[in-house]
Amino acid sequence: MKKTFSCIDSHTCGNPVRVVTGGVPFLEGENMFEKRQFFIENYDWIRRGLMFEPRGHDMMSGSMLYPPHDPANDVAVLYIETSGCLPMCGHGTIGTVTVAIEEGLIVPKEEGKLRIETPAGLVKVKYEQEGKKVKTVKLTNVASFVIAQDLTIHCETLGELTFDVSYGGNFYAIIDPQENFSGLQDFTAEQLITMSRKLRKAINEKYEFIHPENPRINGLSHIQWIGKPLDESSDGRNAVFYGDKAIDRSPCGTGTSARMAQLHARGKLKVNQPFVNESYIGSKFTGEIVETTTVGGIPAIIPSIEGWAMVTGYSTIFLDDDDPYVHGFQV
């Protein structure tokens, strides 16, 4: 059997977003969270084939568009990545919106605005265009909150590390500079990846993290290393580890949301105070706390994230059962 997928490729601040426009499967479910579950159980081979080598690579991520379940919304999105199907992906949303608007995949109900159903909840978007090009995308993310502070874990390379765990659409361990960690600027991506993989496993064995309103969102998926910005005018810089071998090339939308929730909880970031966050490669998102709220009784913020994306090309991809690597591989 040979399946054909049409894709429009893009990148958000350096991190890839492959929007699958043809060949997407029909998904059962009443909402995007249930559809994500159905996809994982029945069609994960599509994600693996389109994301992993030889058709993708360690950092590859993407999305599929579905009709909204609530007619007040514009579209529903499934996120696919080397790491799995995230409940929410910020850079993925910015890339998906850019592709969808520039390529005419969505006709917005209201010019310059979109209401997007994600597995993690409703995400509202504003975008600005110059001619046909989308110049910026600003998303208002799901409620983000700190679930644990000052946890400790032993890192083989660095020794004991203290970290907070914060949710921004995914659960992040945030490792600030401290006695045993001078900051991400002193480490190569390879070193961060090797340490992160072991740390995530150790943290998940020692601690449990469950979303208070949706227990099916659980477990630490990402590690966020903090360090000195490359540009002195920026407010922060991160290196976000995801999947098994990836450091986000963008400042990570859900990671920046989690970081802002953590800074707010520690009294270091106020509502409406812009937060310019750099990625490992120095690309930037501007974040802001729009308002405060609670999630299951836990103090939370509603963050916004603004960034840009570029469409890089079209691809038609075959998943052919005659190919021994039809479902991808990682080395």
Residues that bind ligand PYC (CB under 6 A): 86, 89-91, 242, 248, 250, 252-255
Active site residue 89: yes
Q: Among 7, 13, 85, 252, which one carries the catalytic annotation?
A: 252
In the bound state with ligand PYC, the residue whose beta carbon lies nearer, of 77 and 326, is 77
In the bound state with ligand PYC, the residue whose beta carbon lies nearer, of 55 and 118, is 118
Element (H, E) at 150: strand 144-155
What's the distance, CA 281 to chain centroid? Answer: 16
Distance CA 85, CA 80 (A): 5
Distance CA 170, CA 295 (A): 14
Smallest separation (angstroms) from ligand PYC to the CB of 58: 12
Contacts of 136 (CB under 8 A, 6+ apart): 127, 128, 306, 307, 308
Smallest separation (angstroms) from ligand PYC to the CB of 63: 11
Q: Among 7, 13, 89, 155, which one carries the catalytic annotation?
A: 89
In the bound state with ligand PYC, the residue whose beta carbon lies nearer, of 300 and 326, is 300
Smallest separation (angstroms) from ligand PYC to the CB of 12: 7
Distance CA 248, CA 162 (A): 22
In the bound state with ligand PYC, the residue whose beta carbon lies nearer, of 242 and 280, is 242
Distance CA 100, CA 138 (A): 15
Active site residue 252: yes
Q: Each residue of 86-123: b (16+ CB within 10 Å) or e? A: bbbbbbbbbbbbbbbbbeeebebeeeeebbbbbbbbbb
Smallest separation (angstroms) from ligand PYC to the CB of 38: 22
Catalytic residues: 89, 252
